[in-house]
Structure 1
């Protein structure tokens, strides 16, 4: 047999490397999840805005084609290109969703976050104050509900760091580029931040994991609605992706370098956008310090590099806050802490629901937040003791503690979930093994280390039990009335409640009333008769009227009347007795 000569001038084409099954399945999953909601969106716009219907239809067909191509791609390089195409389709889907949700016939916002950002930006652009100012007309102007407080009032101050105001001010009525009032500029900034975070995440993740950027930022159903409403936490996402993607290498070799300076600058911007970034900052700085201490072998160089990192981040944060610090003075400090210090009414998906729905209330609901603070400190202490074990979960560590707080809403847990993946996948686990861990003499014993986790969580559990088991000082009975169906056989609405309140405590209490037929408190009730406060060891009778349409009673369970007091904070529940034949 004669061997054929190979022409050295003709390049030999390398065989395509097949993608792993896990990569292919994740890529296919990224396509599949983008289908959700498309049929409904297409049909809703089939007549009113045909161009959107056509766009959704074309996208639907493109996703079907991409699904086939992903399933049949031969090479790893080809599948990577398809991942980029799927990400592009996700961006198109987001643009169509935004066009669907934004138009001149719709309200710009449906929640108070974007409305407060816009109002504060207008005030700033016109030379007014941002912090310390009460924007009392927000609810009526934007037709949104506002966060209820324990004293019965509503949050009407801007309580976030100022980045969202700086971004929105140029586009307000007094800004450089006035836009229509129906355009949710705050929401558009947050939607744009979603896109930027997805692109950065796609770029930094290992190739087989890049479809996760599409899934987490575009296909998770709660992302777009929150971004559309202008919730400022989304502004932190692209900057925190940069920070967390290489946090384990910050200051490596004893030098901050350009990458470290960029990371510190991004951290400062994130901290100027939302308070949730502050909690992550604490864990990040502790993690960086422990890694550098393990690498350098001494505290002095580790502290020096960490200090330079903190200095850059703090400098950027200060520059962004300086205009407000100069204009609003002392109000700036209390303003940026508002979300953390205000006595907002309880709401959540955690133990606070025990006092809200399962018992008669709590005489110490503030202990729920105290338990959350204790759990946060316990988590930080555990991180110092076991850094190598916990460092991969750095971006997740601050949030479980919020499960115990008075307002344990899902925003604390899921909106930053893409960062969990970034921190886990973009840092080498081997680097964490060199982190310095605190090992005083007692902790060198195995039995002590086993006993430490229960000891760390014990204060939080004690505070949690105090919140649950402390009885409310008020005793409550309530009777409701309202319009009936024809012939008076069934109560169709609840518009009047008579409440008898007895104070068993030694302090006067000023009640605020709310009802609930679901997991949401309805504070649309006004006192038409009854004293301002219930005296110590005294009683009072209150007549309440509902603002607007009567409340529909709960057909499947009780209708609850809740009393909130602020000083001291208490929570009291009772079932509203309804007329027979309800």
Structure 2
């Protein structure tokens, strides 16, 4: 059944991204290890699978039988096994991990935490955050920073070694004049305003991010037809990259949750408010703006599209206005850090072949050109297929980052969730347990299927 195949494809792509992410981490830590080519190919293949999974309208797909039942069963068996892996990752959240002794897994989490504390003190983090004071209080060091190609690192070709990072860190902590490390909040204001309650209570914000992932999964399942819900739940859990790399430390779920809600219910006007929250949290949400507007304009017209754009812009402005008015230059420099600061090439996309895959490293402008061309191509495809594949845009939005100078793995591991969002919106029709069994579909939640189907029939009666 095509509906089940779409969900299974989401799980398979997420499983591939899970293993690609593990290899990516190993190669970055141990550059002498092979694997860069495998990572790039796996991510590209996962993107292709997810694009294929959300093509078409999906109308009535739940009634279309699969061509190969045994293969279908094998794919769902894989999804079920990988779902158990995800549950194992999620169950590990309360425990302290020997492989990472601190909850501040990266500078995004650390700087947001310090920024939230500065807000509680009545200070503007865009103008007053000091990374050395922040990291000293958190007990972390240079390995949790984003280095820049300036100062002590100006002559470094690919990326500073740990020794170089530590030496520059000690120098600037002692003498001041930091230019080597990103040292200010580099995201819109909601990235740290939303975590203030957790900071006040002294709770690990990583748990908030996991809760956001669980909530996003729940919204996807809720939007799915009742008979397909157990399979959708198995699929989003089977996409192991979602749970594994959220638990490992990712603040991206703060923008992903409202973005998922905005796309799932984009027929509602309040979806513009949800998208505004996402855009006011992290710049990655901005990549979805044209695709969201294309979808809205297609079904509701240009006037409604402009109204939604104005609503989202208003939410963004309200969230950031106090900081814009207080220190406009600092706010602009902070929010534009990913674009304006001279960062090192880094990532798991095409750039990985140049930094760790043995291929020549092209000039940064070459990657920028490829990224721009891909973005243009994705927009053209989304516009031309806006009626035949209305959900395609939510998967295409982040594809250009595969070609970027900075194509961090964190940009890609959540794409299976966006694909699940797209599939959940499709008019797939419903599925009976008998049809699912005949199709060879497997799920960890097979028992509730019959009960849910029975409830659905009673409601229909």
TM range (shorter): 0.5 to 0.7
Query: CA contact under 8 A between 1:395 and 1:423: conserved in structure 2?
Result: yes
For structure 1, list consecutive stretches of 5 or more residues without a partner in the other structure: 1-19, 39-92, 173-180, 248-258, 293-301, 431-582
Q: Give the 3-state SS of the residue equivalent to 1:392 in structure 2.
A: coil
Name the CA shift for 1:362/1:141 in 2 (closer, same or farther; >3 Å). Answer: closer
Aligned to 2:313: 314
Highest relative contact order (Cα 8 Å, sep 6+), 1 or 2? 2
Aligned to 1:111: 106
Aligned to 1:130: 125
Name the CA shift for 1:231/1:191 in 2 (closer, same or farther; >3 Å). Answer: same
Q: Distance in 2 between matches of 1:386 and 1:34?
A: 32
Aligned to 1:161: 188
Q: Distance in 1 between matches of 2:252 and 2:204?
A: 15
Name the CA shift for 1:380/1:106 in 2 (closer, same or farther; >3 Å). Answer: same
Question: 1:165-314 residue pairs with structure 2 within 5 A?
Answer: 165-172=192-199, 185-211=204-230, 213-215=232-234, 217-228=236-247, 230-247=249-266, 260-292=268-300, 302-314=301-313
Q: How many residues align?
A: 328
Q: 1:346 deviation in Å?
A: 0.9
Name the CA shift for 1:369/1:350 in 2 (closer, same or farther; >3 Å). Answer: same
For structure 2, list consecutive stretches of 5 or more residues without a partner in the other structure: 1-68, 151-178, 430-461
Aligned to 1:391: 390
Aligned CA RMSD, in angstroms, stands at 3.5
Query: CA contact under 8 A between 1:350 and 1:408: conserved in structure 2?
Result: yes
Structure number with greater Rg is: 1
CA displacement 1:76-135 (0-9 Å, x = unmatched): xxxxxxxxxxxxxxxxx66632112479x9422232221111111111111222224453
Q: 1:222 deviation in Å?
A: 3.3
Query: CA contact under 8 A between 1:198 and 1:214: conserved in structure 2?
Result: yes
Q: Distance in 2 between matches of 1:229 and 1:274?
A: 19
Q: 1:368 deviation in Å?
A: 0.6
Q: Give the 3-state SS of the residue equivalent to 2:193 in structure 1.
A: helix
TM-score normalised by structure 1 residue count: 0.50
1:350 and 2:349 matched: yes
Give the structure with the larger strand fraction.
1
- Aligned equivalent of 1:32, options 77, 81, 87: 81
Q: Distance in 1 between matches of 2:352 and 2:91?
A: 38
Q: Give the 3-state SS of the residue equivalent to 1:388 in structure 2.
A: coil
Name the CA shift for 1:363/1:351 in 2 (closer, same or farther; >3 Å). Answer: closer
TM-score normalised by structure 2 residue count: 0.62
- Aligned equivalent of 1:99, options 81, 94, 99: 94
Q: Distance in 2 between matches of 1:271 and 1:285?
A: 14
Q: 1:207 deviation in Å?
A: 2.9
Q: 1:373 deviation in Å?
A: 1.9
Q: Distance in 1 between matches of 2:78 and 2:217?
A: 16
Give the structure with the larger helix fraction.
2
Query: CA contact under 8 A between 1:110 and 1:143: conserved in structure 2?
Result: no
Q: Distance in 2 between matches of 1:420 and 1:37?
A: 18
Q: Distance in 1 between matches of 2:80 and 2:116?
A: 38
Q: Distance in 2 between matches of 1:161 and 1:308?
A: 22
Name the CA shift for 1:147/1:394 in 2 (closer, same or farther; >3 Å). Answer: same
Q: Distance in 2 between matches of 1:282 and 1:182?
A: 38
Query: CA contact under 8 A between 1:132 and 1:335: conserved in structure 2?
Result: no
Name the CA shift for 1:401/1:191 in 2 (closer, same or farther; >3 Å). Answer: same
Aligned to 1:378: 377
Q: Give the 3-state SS of the residue equivalent to 1:99 in structure 2.
A: coil
Q: 1:355 deviation in Å?
A: 3.2
